[in-house]
């Protein structure tokens, strides 16, 4: 399992970064990105700590820990500067918190995140066709999620992305140890959305491809 969207107690997760990575390794993960929630108030505090712990863990463990952030509920005008700051300060994976139906995300966040060049648009809710087309052109990965409170729109995203040829990725949006999934559990999540075996393999391959870009 490669999971490129998770949270630690540096934002609203329950576990220390080291514990989350260790529990993921025990679950069979080969790579995990630590992408705590950030905005202009805390990115300069959170990101250096994530970068540091990933360097330490990668010296000692086989699982690969990847430093990242999830830009969350930021004003639209701040998304691009925050992405620029994150890249300059060694974030390898930049996620933007998309327009999930379970939270009052600012309308237009999906579009602005794609335009600004994030790596992953997380749980983008009822994303518009034109935004899916733009994501394909910009090489932004759209997230199918295993997280219960965001996954009601997975089928909508899958149908649009399949029609438009946009790249999809599966992440857990983990906040505690029970959110981590095995490869078999991840496959089941995708089967329940309606993906066939070939399509599931393509999703896993997308995770590897994005990982190889970091």
Full set of structural domains in the chain with CATH? 2-213 (3.20.20.140)
Q: What is the rounded distance in angstroms from the CA atom of residue 210 to the CA atom of residue 139? A: 10
Average pLDDT over residues 62-88: 98
Confidence (pLDDT) at 185: 96
Confidence (pLDDT) at 127: 98
Q: Band of the pLDDT at 98, cuts 50, 70, 90?
A: very high
Average pLDDT over residues 118-147: 98
DSSP H helices in the chain: 17-26, 43-60, 76-88, 109-116, 129-138, 154-164, 183-193, 197-213
Confidence (pLDDT) at 156: 98
Average pLDDT over residues 6-20: 98
Confidence (pLDDT) at 38: 98
Confidence (pLDDT) at 159: 97
Average pLDDT over residues 154-182: 97
Q: CA distances (Å), 47 to each of 37, 40, 97, 173, in order? A: 10, 12, 16, 17
Q: Own/partner pairs for 54-57, CB < 8 Å, 24+ apart?
A: 54/17, 57/17, 57/18, 57/21
Confidence (pLDDT) at 133: 98
Q: Band of the pLDDT at 80, cuts 50, 70, 90?
A: very high
Nearest to 3 by CA among 214, 200, 183, 192: 183
Confidence (pLDDT) at 6: 98
Backbone angles phi, psi at 120, to 5 degrees: -135, 130
DSSP per-residue codes, 135-174: HHHHTPEEEEE--TTTGGGHHHHHHHHHHHT--EEEE--B
Confidence (pLDDT) at 191: 97
Confidence (pLDDT) at 7: 98
**Residue in the structure block whose two tokens are 């993960």:** 29
Confidence (pLDDT) at 129: 98
Number of neighbours of residue 107 by Cβ within 10 angstroms: 9
Confidence (pLDDT) at 146: 96
pLDDT mean across residues, the chain = 97
Confidence (pLDDT) at 110: 98
Average pLDDT over residues 169-186: 97
Q: What is the rounded distance in angstroms from the CA atom of residue 39 to the CA atom of residue 42? A: 6
User: What are the pLDDT digits (tens) for 205-214?
Assistant: 999 999 999 8
């Amino acid at each position: 399992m490669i999971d490129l969207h998770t949270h630690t107690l540096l934002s609203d997760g329950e576990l220390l970064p080291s514990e989350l990575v260790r529990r993921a390794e025990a679950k069979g993960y080969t790579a995990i990105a630590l992408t705590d929630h950030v905005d202009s108030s805390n990115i300069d505090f959170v990101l250096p700590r994530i970068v540091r712990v990933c360097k330490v863990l990668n010296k000692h463990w086989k699982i690969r820990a990847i430093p990242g952030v999830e830009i969350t509920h930021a004003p639209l005008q701040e998304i691009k500067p925050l992405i620029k700051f994150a890249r300059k300060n060694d974030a390898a994976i930049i996620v933007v918190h998309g327009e999930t139906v379970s939270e009052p995300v600012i309308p237009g966040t999906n579009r602005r995140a794609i335009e600004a060049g994030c790596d992953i648009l997380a749980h983008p809710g009822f994303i518009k066709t034109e935004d899916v087309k733009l994501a394909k052109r910009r090489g932004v990965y759209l997230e199918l999620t295993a997280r219960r409170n965001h996954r009601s729109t997975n089928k909508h995203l899958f149908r649009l992305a399949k029609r438009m040829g946009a790249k999809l990725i599966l992440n857990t949006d983990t906040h505690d140890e029970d959110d981590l999934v095995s490869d078999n559990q991840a496959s089941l999540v995708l089967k329940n959305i309606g993906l066939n075996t070939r399509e599931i393999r393509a999703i896993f391959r997308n995770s590897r491809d994005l990982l190889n870009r970091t």
